[in-house]
Amino acid sequence: MKHTIIASSIAACLLIVGATTPLTAAAADKEVQATDLVDIFEKLGGKHPGYRKAHAKGMCAAGTFVPSANEHFKDAALLSNGELPVSMRFSLGGANPNSDERAPGTRGLGMQIKLPNGSFHTFTGNNFPVFAGKDPETFFGFLSTLLPDENGKTDPAKTMAFIKANPSVQANAMWNQQAKTPASFANTAFFGLHTFYFDNANGEKTKFRWDIQPSLGVKTLDKDEAAKMPETFLADTFAKQLKEGTVSFTIMASLGEAEDSDIDPSQQWPAERPQVELGTITVTTSGGDACKNTNFDPNVMSAGFTPSADPVLRMRSPAYAISFGKRLSNQ
C-alpha cells in the first residue's frame, strides 16, 4: 500500500541524519504544470477510468450549514443568509478507487455550500495540518521519488534523500510517520492548509486559515484495532453514527498575523493564533452519488473571500479541472 511505503520511508529518513546517502533527489528543475501532477498521480495509483486522479475512493454526504456571526467576517454573504444546503464528499488519498480503508494516512473532505443567489463556497481539506512541500515543484519532486523503476521496484533511499534535502517536506513526513487509521470520517478533523482573505465592506482585510472539527471528537484506530476491521468500513460506520445521533462539524478560522506565511502551506502558523467560529455543518444523509460530478475547487469562494497567492493553492484549479474533464470523459 502506498501509504505504508511512504510512512516506512519517512520513518527511516528521520533516523539517518548522518547517513551517507547522496542527496541526488531535488525539487523539479523546471516549472511544474497541472498536467504533470495529474499524470504522476495516475502513475502512482494506476489508471482507473472515470475516477478522480487523486482521492479516487470516497463517499457522498449532504447536510446544512448554520453560520456563526463574528466581527472578523462581518457582512459576509456566506454568514448572512441563515441555514444553507451543503454537499460533501469524504475520501481516501491516492488514485486507487479500491484502497484498503484500514491503512493509515490521508483522508480528505470536499464541501460545497450553496448560497441563495446560486453561487458556491467551497472548502477542500485533508486530515494532515501541513502540506508536503512549499510549492508544486517540491511536491512533484517528492512524488517522483515514489515512482517505481523499470523493474517495478521503488527506491526508499531516494525518498529519504529528498526529504532530508527539502525541509518543506519534513513536517508532513513526520505526520505520515505517526499517522493512524481514522475510526470514521465523522471522527476526523480536516485542515484547509492554505491561506485565504476576507475583505469586508469597510475595506478591512482578514487573513485566515480554516479547519473543521468533528463534534464527535477525533478518534483513530491503532494497528491491531485496524487489522480487525473489514477492508471497507468507513461508509457503513458513518451511516451507523448518523442513524444513532447527530453528526456535525464546526468550521473554525485561525486569524493570521503579518509574519505568518500566506504562500507556503508547508509552514504551520503558531498554535496560539486566535480562532473564531464560522459555523456548523450538520450532516443529514450519506451515501449515493450526488457528489460524483462535483468539482470541489477551493478557489471557488463566495463574495468577499479571495484565495492567497499560494502557488499550491493556485495550482489546484487547473489540476482539478483536468482531472474533472478526464473523469467525465471516462479517461
**Active-site residue list:** 55
Residues near 232 by beta carbon (within 8 Å), at least 6 away in sequence = 101
Query: Positive or negative CA dihedral for 149, 154, 160, 166?
Result: positive
Distance of CA 221 to the CA centre of its chain: 20
The three cell numbers locating residue 175: 505526520
What is the phi/psi pair of residue 221, to 5°?
A: -110, 135
> Do 210 and 193 form a contact (C-beta atoms < 8 A)?
no
The three cell numbers locating residue 27: 525539487
The three cell numbers locating residue 224: 491491531
Distance of CA 72 to the CA centre of its chain: 25
Rounded to the nearest 10 degrees, the angle between the axes of helix 2-13 and helix 156-165 is 60
Neighbours of 259 (CB within 10 A): 7
The three cell numbers locating residue 285: 444523509
Q: Which residue has the cell 523493474?
A: 151
> Do 247 and 280 form a contact (C-beta atoms < 8 A)?
no
Give CA–CA dist 281/74, Å, rounded. Answer: 20
**Run of H or E residues at 255:** strand 248-255
- Which residue type does 68 have? S
